[in-house]
Structure 1
Amino acid sequence: MGNNSNFQFIPFGSGQRICAGANLAGKLLRYVLASLLHSFDWKQPDGAEKIEFSDYYKIFIKKKKPLMAVPTLRLSSQDLFA
Protein backbone atom coordinates (compact mmCIF):
# COMPACT_ATOMS: atom_id res chain seq x y z
CA MET A 1 0.00 0.00 0.00
CA GLY A 2 1.36 3.34 -0.95
CA ASN A 3 0.80 6.81 0.39
CA ASN A 4 -2.05 7.31 -2.08
CA SER A 5 -4.50 4.99 -0.26
CA ASN A 6 -7.72 6.48 1.09
CA PHE A 7 -8.34 3.91 3.82
CA GLN A 8 -8.67 6.61 6.49
CA PHE A 9 -12.09 7.34 4.97
CA ILE A 10 -13.43 3.84 5.71
CA PRO A 11 -14.34 4.05 9.41
CA PHE A 12 -15.42 0.41 9.84
CA GLY A 13 -13.07 -1.23 7.37
CA SER A 14 -14.27 -3.51 4.61
CA GLY A 15 -14.04 -7.00 3.28
CA GLN A 16 -13.05 -9.96 5.42
CA ARG A 17 -11.81 -7.83 8.33
CA ILE A 18 -14.78 -5.49 8.62
CA CYS A 19 -15.56 -4.20 12.11
CA ALA A 20 -17.84 -6.57 14.01
CA GLY A 21 -19.68 -3.63 15.59
CA ALA A 22 -20.60 -1.83 12.35
CA ASN A 23 -24.20 -3.11 12.34
CA LEU A 24 -24.57 -2.38 16.05
CA ALA A 25 -23.27 1.17 15.54
CA GLY A 26 -25.84 1.81 12.80
CA LYS A 27 -28.71 0.50 14.90
CA LEU A 28 -27.54 2.40 17.98
CA LEU A 29 -27.31 5.63 15.98
CA ARG A 30 -30.92 5.23 14.81
CA TYR A 31 -32.05 4.48 18.38
CA VAL A 32 -30.29 7.54 19.83
CA LEU A 33 -31.68 9.83 17.11
CA ALA A 34 -35.21 8.45 17.62
CA SER A 35 -34.89 8.92 21.39
CA LEU A 36 -33.82 12.54 20.96
CA LEU A 37 -36.68 13.27 18.58
CA HIS A 38 -39.18 11.53 20.87
CA SER A 39 -38.00 13.06 24.17
CA PHE A 40 -37.71 16.71 23.15
CA ASP A 41 -39.76 19.35 21.38
CA TRP A 42 -37.52 21.08 18.85
CA LYS A 43 -37.79 24.68 17.65
CA GLN A 44 -35.62 27.37 16.14
CA PRO A 45 -34.10 30.00 18.42
CA ASP A 46 -35.92 33.32 18.70
CA GLY A 47 -35.03 35.64 15.84
CA ALA A 48 -33.75 32.87 13.57
CA GLU A 49 -34.37 33.08 9.83
CA LYS A 50 -37.07 30.85 8.38
CA ILE A 51 -35.62 27.71 6.84
CA GLU A 52 -36.44 27.17 3.17
CA PHE A 53 -36.88 23.53 2.16
CA SER A 54 -38.38 24.00 -1.30
CA ASP A 55 -35.24 23.01 -3.23
CA TYR A 56 -34.50 19.31 -3.46
CA TYR A 57 -31.09 17.94 -4.33
CA LYS A 58 -29.91 14.36 -4.38
CA ILE A 59 -26.53 15.14 -2.86
CA PHE A 60 -25.57 16.47 0.51
CA ILE A 61 -23.81 19.80 0.73
CA LYS A 62 -22.56 21.81 3.68
CA LYS A 63 -24.94 24.56 4.71
CA LYS A 64 -23.72 28.14 4.45
CA LYS A 65 -25.17 28.85 7.91
CA PRO A 66 -25.50 26.12 10.53
CA LEU A 67 -28.94 24.84 11.43
CA MET A 68 -29.71 25.74 15.03
CA ALA A 69 -32.36 23.97 17.11
CA VAL A 70 -33.40 24.47 20.72
CA PRO A 71 -34.52 21.31 22.54
CA THR A 72 -37.22 21.58 25.22
CA LEU A 73 -37.74 18.55 27.44
CA ARG A 74 -41.03 16.87 26.60
CA LEU A 75 -40.75 13.69 28.64
CA SER A 76 -39.17 13.15 32.04
CA SER A 77 -36.74 10.27 32.40
CA GLN A 78 -39.41 8.39 34.38
CA ASP A 79 -41.88 8.69 31.48
CA LEU A 80 -39.24 7.80 28.93
CA PHE A 81 -37.96 4.65 30.60
CA ALA A 82 -41.20 3.40 32.19
Structure 2
Amino acid sequence: MAAKPILYGADWCKKTIAIQDYFKMHDVAYDYINVEQSDEGMQTIKDMNRGKVRFPMVVVGEQTPMKNPSPEELDAALAGNG
Protein backbone atom coordinates (compact mmCIF):
# COMPACT_ATOMS: atom_id res chain seq x y z
CA MET A 1 0.00 0.00 0.00
CA ALA A 2 1.28 3.44 -0.91
CA ALA A 3 1.64 6.36 1.48
CA LYS A 4 -1.46 8.05 2.88
CA PRO A 5 -2.79 10.34 0.12
CA ILE A 6 -3.30 14.07 0.60
CA LEU A 7 -6.27 15.69 -1.14
CA TYR A 8 -6.13 19.43 -1.78
CA GLY A 9 -9.53 20.82 -2.71
CA ALA A 10 -12.57 22.85 -1.69
CA ASP A 11 -15.77 21.75 0.02
CA TRP A 12 -17.99 23.06 -2.82
CA CYS A 13 -15.97 21.47 -5.65
CA LYS A 14 -17.79 18.53 -7.27
CA LYS A 15 -14.50 16.97 -8.38
CA THR A 16 -13.11 17.18 -4.82
CA ILE A 17 -16.29 15.53 -3.50
CA ALA A 18 -16.00 12.77 -6.12
CA ILE A 19 -12.44 11.98 -4.98
CA GLN A 20 -13.55 11.97 -1.33
CA ASP A 21 -16.31 9.53 -2.32
CA TYR A 22 -13.73 7.34 -4.09
CA PHE A 23 -11.54 7.23 -0.97
CA LYS A 24 -14.54 6.38 1.25
CA MET A 25 -15.80 3.70 -1.14
CA HIS A 26 -12.33 2.08 -1.23
CA ASP A 27 -11.79 2.53 2.54
CA VAL A 28 -8.68 4.67 1.96
CA ALA A 29 -7.50 6.87 4.84
CA TYR A 30 -6.47 10.27 3.52
CA ASP A 31 -5.71 13.79 4.64
CA TYR A 32 -7.90 16.60 3.29
CA ILE A 33 -6.71 20.18 3.00
CA ASN A 34 -9.36 22.76 2.14
CA VAL A 35 -7.32 25.27 0.14
CA GLU A 36 -9.84 28.02 0.85
CA GLN A 37 -9.16 27.70 4.57
CA SER A 38 -5.42 27.06 4.45
CA ASP A 39 -2.95 29.64 3.15
CA GLU A 40 -0.27 26.94 3.20
CA GLY A 41 -2.52 24.57 1.23
CA MET A 42 -3.26 27.29 -1.33
CA GLN A 43 0.45 27.99 -1.75
CA THR A 44 1.17 24.28 -2.13
CA ILE A 45 -1.26 23.88 -5.04
CA LYS A 46 0.13 27.03 -6.66
CA ASP A 47 3.63 25.57 -6.33
CA MET A 48 2.44 22.34 -7.99
CA ASN A 49 0.79 24.23 -10.88
CA ARG A 50 3.32 26.93 -11.82
CA GLY A 51 1.52 29.63 -9.85
CA LYS A 52 -2.01 28.74 -10.93
CA VAL A 53 -4.82 27.74 -8.58
CA ARG A 54 -5.93 24.32 -9.78
CA PHE A 55 -7.65 21.67 -7.74
CA PRO A 56 -8.41 19.04 -6.75
CA MET A 57 -4.85 17.85 -6.42
CA VAL A 58 -3.89 14.49 -4.96
CA VAL A 59 -0.42 13.68 -3.67
CA VAL A 60 0.55 10.10 -2.82
CA GLY A 61 3.95 9.88 -1.17
CA GLU A 62 6.78 10.88 -3.49
CA GLN A 63 4.75 10.33 -6.66
CA THR A 64 4.02 13.15 -9.09
CA PRO A 65 1.04 15.22 -7.89
CA MET A 66 -2.14 14.48 -9.83
CA LYS A 67 -4.61 17.15 -10.94
CA ASN A 68 -8.21 15.89 -10.84
CA PRO A 69 -7.18 12.22 -11.12
CA SER A 70 -9.52 9.61 -12.55
CA PRO A 71 -10.46 6.54 -10.51
CA GLU A 72 -8.00 4.54 -12.63
CA GLU A 73 -5.21 7.00 -11.89
CA LEU A 74 -6.03 6.81 -8.18
CA ASP A 75 -6.03 2.99 -8.33
CA ALA A 76 -2.55 3.01 -9.89
CA ALA A 77 -1.17 5.62 -7.48
CA LEU A 78 -2.50 3.79 -4.43
CA ALA A 79 -1.03 0.54 -5.71
CA GLY A 80 2.34 2.31 -5.92
CA ASN A 81 2.37 2.38 -9.72
CA GLY A 82 1.67 6.09 -10.19
TM-score range, shorter chain: under 0.3
Structure 1 or 2: more strand by fraction:
2
| TM-score normalised by the chain length of structure 2 | 0.21
The one of the two structures with greater contact order (alpha-carbon pairs below 8 A, sep at least 6) is: 2
| TM-score normalised by the chain length of structure 1 | 0.21
